[in-house]
Structure 1
Amino acid sequence: MSISLHPDTPQARTAPSAAAAGVVPGEAAGRGIRTRLFTKYVALFVAVVAIALLANGLFEVFFYYREHKAALIRVQHEQAEAAAAKIGQFVKEIESQLGWTTQLPWSAGSIEQRRFDAQRLLRQVPAVTELAQVDATGKERLRVSRLAMDATDSGIDLSADPKFTEAVAHKVYYGPVYFRRESEPYMTLALAGARKDAGVSIAEVNLKLIWDVVSQIKVGEHGHAYVVGPEGRLIAHPDISLVLRNTDMSGLAQVRAAQAGGGTLSDALPEARNIQGQKVLTTSAPIEPLHWTMLVELPVEEAYAALYASLQRLAIVLLAASIFAVLAGIFLARRMVGPIQALRSGAERIGGGDFSQRISIKTGDELEGLADQFNDMGARLQESYADLENKVERRTAELSETLEQQTATSEVLEVISSSPGELAPVFYKMLENATRVCGASFGVMNLWDGESFTIAADYNVPAAFAASRKDVEIRPRPNSALAEVVRTREVVHVHDVRNTPAYLAGGPAVRAISDVAGARTIVIVPMLKENELIGTIAVYRKEVRPFADKQIALVENFTKQAVIAIENARLLKQLRERTTELSQSLDNLRTAQDRLIQTEKLASLGQLTAGIAHEIKNPLNFVNNFSSVSTELIDELNQALQSASLDGKTKEEVDELTGMLRSNLEKVVQHGKRADSIVRNMLLHSRAGSGEHRPSDINAVVEESLNLAYHGARAERPAFNVTLEREFDPGAGTVDVYPQEIARVLLNLISNGFYAAAKRKESATDGFEPTLNAATKNLGDKVEIRIRDNGTGIPPEVKAKLFNPFFTTKPAGEGTGLGLSMSHDIVVKQHGGTIDVNTEPGVFTEFIITLPRQMAADDTPGGKN
């Protein structure tokens, strides 16, 4: 590996600080960097190897631990299930042998045969030490035993013993484990015969053979199996002394969990502590049909011995790998630090401005390629540095041009804001800035009226050219630049006027532009409003020099601002005209308002008279029509009565004619009274007040109105009965009013309340009782009167028009629509009070009147309008 650092040219430079210190740049820093890189590389290699090995080892140990533990639990579970199956089979065989003793029914001659069968059972099944046979009534008839004397017809009554009752009920009975002479475990097994008269055979079974099965189960070196009963008592254990002591195992967590799971341990409790307090790996299996549980336990230390050995091997391998990684890291770090230091030193020199120096590294790998890239970068930087100043100058010029354009735009906007509605200064400022920023000689703005152009503004235009075009309409000629703008609505850029077809064809307008004004290069930009041409802005140069795209874009921006200015001016003019019109309309409105106030009384009187005439017409027509009909009926009735044979009419038909006559005459009278009432209301309302205002007791006025309205309603509807409620405030006292007018208002409101209550009564089916409440209240300088009924209520749409003249909800011919309107006028206009209504449809209606205690000094009847 070869490393060097040298300049390619004699003009190579070194950093001033390094030269002043007399040290190669980066040398002192390189030593420090090398030390840190060395340490990092060594640590990195060690960490990579150690982490890889450690991760692999941990994963191996983790999965080995899970698999080993699952395998141990599986083996133990299989052992427990096998042992449980042996014990279950042991009990089932005894149960099968015992079944032979229940085949014969009980009789006087069967006792010897049963004794023979019992002795044969004791010989064939060593676990059975005693057999008792009970008849169907529960009496012991025979007992054969290995440990005691045989007995025949002992007469012992077992009819209430579970041995008998449970066997009869369930065909088989497994008794609890007990210890005979505190030495050997026993269990009672009772079996009922298939026939009812076969009785029950009861065997006492020695469970020592179960202990033999449990003792033979080998679980590792120090593991063992044991059996517990439903209550957690130890039934079989390799240590027989624990069984003889009747040990209770229910305190162990694994025993409780197995019993809770029906004899099977859940995966959540694979490890627990045995009765000696040692941590064990445990599993279980149920023993059917005895409801016992077989548990198998193995000490954890023995179960995980192989895992601990694997961890030791992993630690040895990890230590050896770490030592190897340290040695490899030291070797590789030494090989890499040198080239990296050379690269750092070279980069520092390039950063100091020495673009001519070159880095030489001969390693044949990526570091050598990186050095070559540094050398190429230095060469490119050296080349680009020379061109950097030119680029800065060009960029500065572009920024200056942009700033100038923005300044020109802001000046135009300032003129637009300072001269609203005035277009001449705005157009001039646009042309001035467009000509200046674009480096043009002069500019012209034309407005288009659909047929020709007129000059709206110009800037720096030559005098001769301006004089030739003053007050002249310019019509675009074919093939001219203006004609092209009108046709395409797009920008037209003429690089040289003298090379255009219009100039070559001798067009006077084009030759005037070139020959008189001296223009050679032109750009014409249309002013568009929603694609509608309204004018153009044209800038001219006297030399052949095309405009740049940015300059054309600036002129386009000016055209948009010009369109906005024209539109603003138009809108401002319309606004001023509309303001003048509105001012004139306001004056006319005020004049009309004065005239309306003068004619208000006459109009109201005319409306009132027209409404009353309309209302009188219906009842009077009814009176006229039915009068003629009644006359005909009377003539026909008289003729019928004078005829001896009644002209074929019976007595009943005559009565019917008489009834019709009476009904029509009653209607005539009723409508006549109605017409009279309308006329009286008209006369009273036209008087605009009755009598003079005077202090009156408001409670007495309300009471009098209440009585008059009540008796009037009873006269019209004798069957109608309404409950009157009074809540008069003694403090209400006297009020300065027109008593007759206020009484009219109260009579109207109370009558309406009676009408609404009667209307609801007619449709009610729930025992509805109509009531009307009249109340007064002292409000200091005012008095409040409330008239409330529990009638049909008022809908919202009716409430809004309640006090309008001629508005009524009653059927045709029953109301004028003037009552509430007159009441409103009397209370508000005549007395200066208020009248309002509070209602809920179908529930109630309440009118609220507020009257001032003292009327104003200038109040006269009808004085308030």
Structure 2
Amino acid sequence: MSISLHSDTSQGRPLAASSAADAPAVQAAPAPKVRARLFAKYVALFVAVVSVALLSNGIFEVFFYYREHKASLIRIQREQAEAAAAKISQFIKEIESQLGWTTQLPWSAGSLQDRRFDALRLLRQVPAITELSQIDSTGKERLRVSRLAMDVVDSGLDLSKDSKFSEAVANKVYYGPVYFRRESEPYMTLSLAGTRKDAGVSIAEVNLKLIWDVVSQIKVGERGHAYVVGSGGRLIAHPDISLVLRNTDMSKLVQVQAARAGNANDANALQGSLNIQGQKVLTASAPISPLGWTMFVELPETEAYASLYQALQRLSIVLLAASIFAVLAGIFLARRMVGPIRALSAGAARLGGGDFTQRISIKTGDELEGLANQFNDMGARLQESYADLENKVEQRTAELSESLQQQTATADVLKVISRSTFDLQTVLDTLVESAGRLCEADEGIILQPRDGAYRLAASFGLSPKKQQFLRDFIFKPGGTTAVGRALSEGRSIILVDGQSPLPGDPNPAQSRIAIPLLREGVPMGVFVLTRRERRAFSDKQIELVTTFADQAVIAIENLRLFDEVQARTKELATSLEELRTAQDRLVQTEKLASLGQLTAGIAHEIKNPLNFVNNFSSLSAELIDELNDVLRPAALDAKTREEIDELTHMLKGNLEKVVQHGKRADSIVKNMLLHSREGAGEHRPADINAIVEESLNLAYHGARAEKPGFNITLKRDFDPAAGQVSLYPQEITRVFLNLISNGFYAAAKRKEAGDEDFEPILSAATRSLGNKVEIRIRDNGTGIPPEVKEKMFNPFFTTKPAGEGTGLGLSMSHDIIVKQHAGTIDVVTEPGAFTEFIITLPRTGAAQSITGGRN
């Protein structure tokens, strides 16, 4: 079989004479990908046949080996568990056998001393027994010998109702539950009744820690071990004695639960179960009869399946070697099968790519050779027709390419303009660059009016030196230059004579086109393109530049209109804001002045008669005292003296009431005057946490100054998210001071009531509620009765003695929070326990005047 691929230069054009466009077409042909897929298909098929056969055989072998190996492991572990359980049973039976010697004789035979000697000998022979008690047939304890306590002889303790005695008498033997002495060592009770009715019962307390010797000797593989679990799930024996001493609970392990449920040796159920150390193990178990215990034997999965893992490794090595062999054999066979097809595909790809001189030579004597000859004939005919079509295609392609470039550039420019409507510099730079590139210009500039002249606004293709020169140059209408004529005449100027170079240009041999940017016939700039050779611009290029110039006019006009609209909008917004501010200030000033003047007038009108009443009451009290002093030395009978004293006492009592009410009225007037003078202050954002903290400190120091011996604990729970709130800080501080001072007063009142264990506490807390904030002020004072709670926000209502309160504090606080700040104020109280004020304020409440908030 002969295969060759050669070029035929005797027919048509030679391979070297092919156009440059043919090479990319040949390189881009998809033929190599087809060859790679076909070759890989043959190789993959051969590898798949070999690998599937080997892999299926290996998987079946491993599967059956895994099942047999797992069953064998479970069987072996079960046998080990049963053997270990038998050892434990034997251990207990031996103790039971030794204990049986103490129940042979009746209590009527022998003495207590002999029985005590036999019991001590039993404790020496059986180390596991720590205490032995011998009970007579009536259930009375006659002897108790212990390693841990003093021996007791004839204690007479009645155990007839105890299960240790009754169960042993009924069943001859009694195995008690496992318990832990001092919460560490496991013990069990073993009771054995004698064969004779009057032999009594022997009760032994067995230390199960000694079973560790039996368990530790049981070997399960290299890292496996055995352990014993009691009926309650507690660990009794384990090679790690510390687990036993810690009274470890094993009831939560899957294998322990399965053993207690009767599924102890289910291989599927226990696969991958975890032991107490968290390792995956295979576990088997066996019951230890008749104790109700369970012996567990566990082996780590890694050790149990080690041989299986080795078999898998060997299978992987065999599969890898077979796959390598299959790949090599597949490559060898595929090359011999795919060779002719590859040559035919390569030749067809070159013919399809335009290399019509390519000829395919295959000497196989079959259909592939005939197909190669047909491809050669087709190439010859295509070579003849290609020569005629090539020139036409190239000419038409050049025309379409130029038109497509212009359309694409125009579309790109329009996109830039639409995206950058208000970025004039970007639009101008894009326009001049695109126009210069499409019109094959060397330089391009756009001029705009600035400072009474036309200056450079955008450029393309200028050297840095020339660009800097043109930035400083002033262009003016008029003259013979293309720029001056376009500005003065208002039309496009096209020059090819090289007589009007740009300023600073040393080369006069130029072609130039200058198109004015007109708005309503008035030039607002000029678009200039320049070539450094005497070659005129085509009509299409002039049309394209004119289109770009129109786009520049639109962009400049849009920006001008946008700037005007923005400026006008800002002026209107500023005027509207100033008008609103002036209106708000006027309304606030009028309301504040009106209420402030009214409050001050009322207070001053009341203050003068109030001062007279107070002064008159004080003077009257002094006159009564002086009259009493004058009459006292006089010779008056007892009845007259008694009447004078009674009258004096009544007058002084009435005058004291007048003075107290006068002081209270004076306090009300002072508050009214203070309120009318201070007003609401400035409405502004403020940190609510800082206001509460400042109010706490002011009220605390004020209370300490008024009551030097009074101590109170302050607690704070401020939410950092509470943050800024728009309010009148001066008014809100007044509310907090009032509520905190009331809390101090209530706490002090409860302390003065004589409760020595009472600790006064006042707490303040803030919390963010999104668009609101919450403030809580709580004291553990006397609380508020229900009848007081209903009236506490009414003006002039107070529970304090006359002269100590005006009754305006809570009323003013309610108006400031609710009416002035559009918030809420609530109170939660329990008489004799606590009072808590809950205030909510909006974060951005409307700024109202203080008078408007209190109407």
- Pairwise TM-score range, normalised by the shorter structure: 0.3 to 0.5
Larger radius of gyration: 1
